[in-house]
Structure 1
């Protein structure tokens, strides 16, 4: 397959990529990794690529001084899981103005195009991070199955060769999805074990996306959320994320959103795909995992890490951590 990228304002960012159909790895290889970067006076982009049979995984970090608009075309089908972790992007199809793929910060989308033929827009940003996973048709159809309903509709779009966006929209990146992405990027293994681990995380990520999309589609909407309600719930989410050590009562959270408890809890679940309690616990576990794996050079002990993520007692933290990750936090010290 040939993919052509045309940037009229920056010719150095234009180019043509020749990609073997189905994204196969070279014979004798199980998994491949590479890193590259591009930079200029007003832009910087770095990419980490992980390639296994049928899948290309691309982690990006970008800085753009100005909005980027590029035309993209392909001569073959294209499937992508797209995650905007701290940026934003949008794809507009030339031949079907009704088909767009806007993905805001903190959202993911999954789409299929019989052929790419549209405009990709990246807004100005500084150190924005995103993940793009390119899938072969064979790999996706082998693993996605035909249920739930949202997945079945997506498969029908692929098999009938029409542009298709999972669920017809983008969805919020839940803490569970965020943690799986971090695990995918920071695989501790090499060789065949790395391939097995990476494939497992890809399947986990696919399952979480399908579950998130299907839950959103089937969840009864008992409370109408106004624009102000949505803004207040996003503020609440950011408040919780910013300080995992902080504990809140439901009443305090209700005051922060100027909403009653029932509407706040139902609205949060409807908007973000999990309960407030689930989000708090997952946010704490994600931060604890980061401290144990990335920053342990600071020589904090486990009790200190427990306090930093909101637990007064080590044993409560250890139980929650083992329930989430399958091993106690002390396992990282043994390594």
Structure 2
């Protein structure tokens, strides 16, 4: 295991950078680093309406521990981080003991001066997408509905002091679809700008939909606390049984909740159906096996519960926009 800090990081890398003016007149930036320890690519894509995207893609050839010190916080924008692939153990000193930032998760964080320690695994491809939106634009967009936003975002918009925080959530199926459409954007020029802008707004809207003020949701929801706990457990059960998931009847019996409430409650709480959620988890697992484990497509299809290769390939292409072949996914 190699231990690094931001002080000696540059000694191990050769960095190349390029920039160009997009069709909207903004400057897009790309940084590439390579060396004996691995490679990384960072893209900064400015968009209209106070939006920007950042896409980071890196892989280490050794187990790395990196300790970083940050003294500046971009308090003009609110940023949501989405993990597309990989698994990083991170300690946010003074805030969290450690968290696992894994594929299918998202997180927000805020503190002015902070120190982080990240643990990167050899051969693990880390792919993240960040969506940033200016607070000025958020104020205009929210207007009278500010009270429905997450408490941290309410404070930022109102210009009040924000205590240090870190909060993690889980990507839903629609988020994962938008993320993969951003990464595999097929367009150029103005069309690319409009496409990425629409997807960035969609991604941020989906995140807000999952993170609106929870107290307000509980007040308006017909679900009891017991129901919500049971419905949360449904997700755990499905994730552990991707190959042979239980039926709705079996879930109903196991969790002591009737089938109607099981279906309608899950849809209300998570904005997707139970088997829609299962499908998303199967696709994420398949993507991980193909990109990180480099397994054969036929084996992946079987491990994800598909009886035939054609049905798996069709589902995978519909979800990710590419065929389930390792070399095509990675590009």
TM-score (ref. length: structure 2):
0.61
Aligned to 2:238: 236
In 1, the alpha carbon distance for the partners of 2:73 and 2:312 equals 51
The 5-angstrom pairing of residues 179-198 of structure 1 reads 179-198=177-196
For residue 182 of structure 1, report the CA deviation from its aligned partner.
Answer: 0.6
Change (3 A) 1:83 1:136: same
In 2, the alpha carbon distance for the partners of 1:8 and 1:112 equals 20
Aligned to 1:222: 225
Q: Secondary structure at the match of 2:161?
A: coil
For residue 282 of structure 1, report the CA deviation from its aligned partner.
Answer: 5.0
For residue 130 of structure 1, report the CA deviation from its aligned partner.
Answer: 2.2
String of CA shifts for 1:249-294, please: whole Å, max 9, x gaps.
2245579xx6445599489679866441331455689999xxxxxx
Change (3 A) 1:151 1:215: closer
TM-score (ref. length: structure 1):
0.61
In 1, the alpha carbon distance for the partners of 2:207 and 2:130 equals 14
The 5-angstrom pairing of residues 53-132 of structure 1 reads 53=47, 54=50, 55-63=52-60, 65-74=63-72, 77=75, 79-85=78-84, 86-88=86-88, 90=90, 92=92, 97=94, 102=99, 104-105=101-102, 106-113=104-111, 116-125=112-121, 126-132=124-130
Aligned length: 273
- Unpaired segments ≥5 residues, structure 2: 14-20, 287-296, 298-307, 321-331
Q: Secondary structure at the match of 1:223?
A: helix
In 2, the alpha carbon distance for the partners of 1:103 and 1:158 equals 29
| Alignment counterpart, residue 311 of structure 2, candidates 307, 312, 317 | 307
The 5-angstrom pairing of residues 11-50 of structure 1 reads 11-12=9-10, 29-30=25-26, 32=28, 34=30, 36-41=32-37, 44-50=38-44
Change (3 A) 1:84 1:136: same
In 2, the alpha carbon distance for the partners of 1:259 and 1:33 equals 51
- Unpaired segments ≥5 residues, structure 1: 1-5, 16-24, 289-297, 299-303, 312-320, 326-335
